[in-house]
Chains A and B, each alone.
Chain A
Amino acid sequence: MTTTSPTPLLDIRGVQHSYGEVVALRDVSLSIADREFFALLGPSGCGKTTLLRSIAGFETPRQGTILLDGQDLTALPAHRRPVNMMFQSYALFPHMSVEKNVAYGLEAEGVGKAEIRRRVGETLEIVGLAAFAQRRPAKLSGGQRQRVALARAIIKRPRVLLLDEPLSALDRKVRAEMQLELKRMQHEAGMTFVVVTHDQEEAMSMADRVAVLNRGGIEQLDTPVGLYSRPATRFVASFIGSANLLDGSATGGPAGGASSVDVPGVAVFPATHSFAERESVTLVARPEDVHIVAPDAAPLQGVVVDTFFLGGSSTVSVEVAGLAKPISCTVHAANVATRGERVGLRFDAARVVVVANPVEAPAPAAAA
């Protein structure tokens, strides 16, 4: 094992890529530490897969460097890179048994027969497929195939394991199991995982840190908790978890006076921010930061349009005059409000977040 160095294991610097006219990555820089579980999260077409394929060597970025332990990966052909990848479709070799599939990487390396047999046995044991060594992939279930793909990718003990939408082909129940298992395996093997996903729940539950990508650029790089409680952009706020987004303009702030957000036609909400006066912003309030109070004492009133009982808590939708979407709030009791009831709403001023609200979509040339 290498000593933990202050330099990151994987360092991506200023990577840009485009397919013809379409820009896939614009100036992406991020670093991933040794033994980190890192997620690249974003909607389809955001460039996350392009970035993963650039690390693996299947795409050559137009610009930028990708350093692994200080060594430039972009100078190496794909088959010499010390990274392994688990493909979204698993890409198991259909003409080989499970055992042969798993052994493939070691055979390419020229490892001795006895050693290969030992390590294949070990790895199949880890993923719990020892009994299926002789089967062809076609005769396995989806979850089993996924385990074979994982075994095949980890057997070479790569410095970095890349996972492309590892769980998207599995059904809900198996997916939850595999999430835990991946996390456990990453911990035990002491490997660095970089997982690409469009499923925010998946990224949030597994990763140590998440980079949210949108339109080829990084919107925010933070821990799951950080992304949820301190979204940096309107996109992140709406993409991660559920949030009430209220567009308005900044008042007060650094210039002086109590900082707040003026949502025209609705109310002025006190909130800490550092935007200039009259700047277009969005107030982000998570459902659990909205409290239902008596109507007369509250700054905001509305009518309950729906309640969803979720077991431990309920989500209440409240329609407020002047807002296009009802405000949703989480309450920890079953019968706080009933449909049609008039209620007051109070936002937790200490927890709401104010982000910039770019009026137009940013010009493509703008650097992220």
Chain B
Amino acid sequence: MATQSPTPGVVPRGARRGWAALPFLTPGTLVLALFVAVPLLLVTSYAFFERGRFGGVVYTFTLDNFVRLADPLYLNVIATSIGTALIVTVLAVALGYPTALVIVRLPPKWRTIALIAVLLPFWTNFLIRTYAWILLLNNAGWINQGLQAVGIIDEPLKMLYTQPAVIIGLLYMYLPLMVLPLYSSLSSQDAQLTEAATNLGSNPFRVFRTITLPLSVPGLLTGCVFVFVPAMSNFVIPELLGGGKTVLIGNLIRDQFLKARDWPFGAALALVLTILLIALIFAQQSASRRVIEGPRERKVKRDA
């Protein structure tokens, strides 16, 4: 692994300990420290203090915030959040995988157009998009009007302010985050691998099952994390499309900070969420690695 310096025995000054790289690392380190480490430390520390009467914290150490988490009320919120995010992720895979697969197989010119089409909603304002869904889903909305006009239903369907509406909103919002990693993973696959599999007698379906799909697992897992993480912590869509009836962990945290003025409990919730998501990312990383590098090499015993 050691890189050979051009003149052996002469090590440039400062190179040995990487001090030379310091000026280049400073901006990045500062950004990370300021916007990641400091807020994280603050939130973590808040979680172990008592609440102030009008918000803020009183610096008395306590574990009460974590004890409170065990309340079925909050456990239920966490469970609902995980459940909702899971449904959104599964639906995103179901919709995103075929989409990515089709885009990869388009001719290059159409590929770019399709990718822009996937990204376009992402560039429009998030509130406008969500309001568009309200227009579509409400009792006098376009979907109900359309269905009534055709005569399929007599009474408008109750769609807005239900859990499915929240799921639709979250799915619509985060679908590009599933399609893009999948696209990048699928498009970087060596086309000769599918040819080789075909040449060895696999029909297109088996080629997909044994080659394309397994090799796209890292991209798939990345997409899942990209969708699951924000879907779990989003609080605007549950409020606008769920009518505040579906309380997810994001809403709960926001309410603790802004409404209940219980910063320490909010911090404890946020900490739990962060730990959960970090664990998820680690799981995703190791799973991806296992797919690419295979299981740890087994010793093959072979006499002779």
Contacts and interface: CB of A to CB of B under 8 A. Distances in A.
Nearest to B290: A95
Interface string B177-209: 000000000000010110111111111101100
A136 B199 contact: no
A92 B293 CA distance: 14
Interface string B211-223: 1001100000000
Interface in B206-240: 206-207, 210-211, 214-215
A268 to B, nearest CB: 55
Contacts of B214: 95
Contact of B193 (A93, A109, A133, A139): A93
Interface string B284-304: 000000011110011010100
B5 to A, nearest CB: 27
B292 A95 contact: yes
Given A93-B193, A131-B300, A133-B300, A84 B199 contact: yes
Contact of A91 (B195, B201, B298): B195
Interface residues of A, number: 32
Nearest to A138: B293
B291 A95 contact: yes
B291 to A, nearest CB: 6
Nearest to A89: B192
A109 B201 contact: yes
B197 A104 contact: yes
Interface string A109-144: 100000000000000000000110111101100000
Interface in A238-260: none
Contact of A85 (B196, B203, B210, B292): B196
Contact of B292 (A81, A94, A97): A94
A348 B206 CA distance: 62
B298 to A, nearest CB: 6
A135 B296 CA distance: 10
Contacts of B206: 108
A141 B1 CA distance: 18
A56 interface: yes
Nearest to A79: B198
A309 B302 CA distance: 49
Given A108-B201, A131-B302, A134-B298, A87 B195 contact: yes
Nearest to B207: A79
B296 to A, nearest CB: 11
B117 to A, nearest CB: 27
Nearest to B196: A91
A84 B215 CA distance: 23
B200 A78 contact: no
A212 to B, nearest CB: 26
A105 interface: yes
A152 B204 CA distance: 19
A87 B203 contact: no
Interface residues of B, number: 27
A13 interface: no
A325 B213 CA distance: 58
A79 B192 contact: no
Contacts of B200: 84, 104-105, 108, 152, 156
Nearest to A135: B297
Contact of B203 (A79, A131, A135): A79
Contacts of A83: 199
Nearest to B206: A108
Contacts of A308: none
Interface in A86-106: 87, 89, 91-95, 97, 104-105
A92 B297 CA distance: 18
A26 to B, nearest CB: 25
Contacts of A152: 196, 200
Contact of B195 (A58, A105, A134): A58
B202 A79 contact: yes
Nearest to A88: B192
B302 A134 contact: no
A78 B192 contact: no
A152 B197 CA distance: 10
B45 to A, nearest CB: 44
Nearest to A99: B300
Contact of A87 (B196, B215, B294, B300): B196
A85 B201 CA distance: 11
A81 B203 CA distance: 11
A57 to B, nearest CB: 8
Interface string A28-61: 0000000000000000000000000000111000
Contacts of B292: 94-95
Nearest to A131: B302
Given A135-B297, A136-B293, A138-B293, A85 B199 contact: yes
A97 B202 contact: no
Contacts of B202: 79, 104, 108
A107 to B, nearest CB: 8
A129 B283 CA distance: 34
Contacts of A78: 195, 198-199
B210 to A, nearest CB: 8
A95 B197 CA distance: 13
A84 B202 CA distance: 12
Nearest to A130: B302
A150 to B, nearest CB: 13
Given A91-B190, A91-B193, A93-B193, A79 B199 contact: yes
Contacts of A95: 214-215, 291-292, 294
A99 to B, nearest CB: 10
6 contacts: A79-B202, A87-B196, A94-B292, A95-B291, A131-B302, A134-B298
| 7 smallest beta-carbon distances between A and B, as pairs | A105-B200, A108-B201, A91-B196, A91-B192, A108-B202, A79-B198, A136-B294
Interface of B: 190, 192-193, 195-204, 206-207, 210-211, 214-215, 291-294, 297-298, 300, 302
Given A133-B300, A134-B300, 11 more contacts: A57-B199, A83-B199, A85-B196, A91-B192, A94-B292, A104-B197, A104-B200, A105-B200, A109-B201, A134-B297, A156-B201
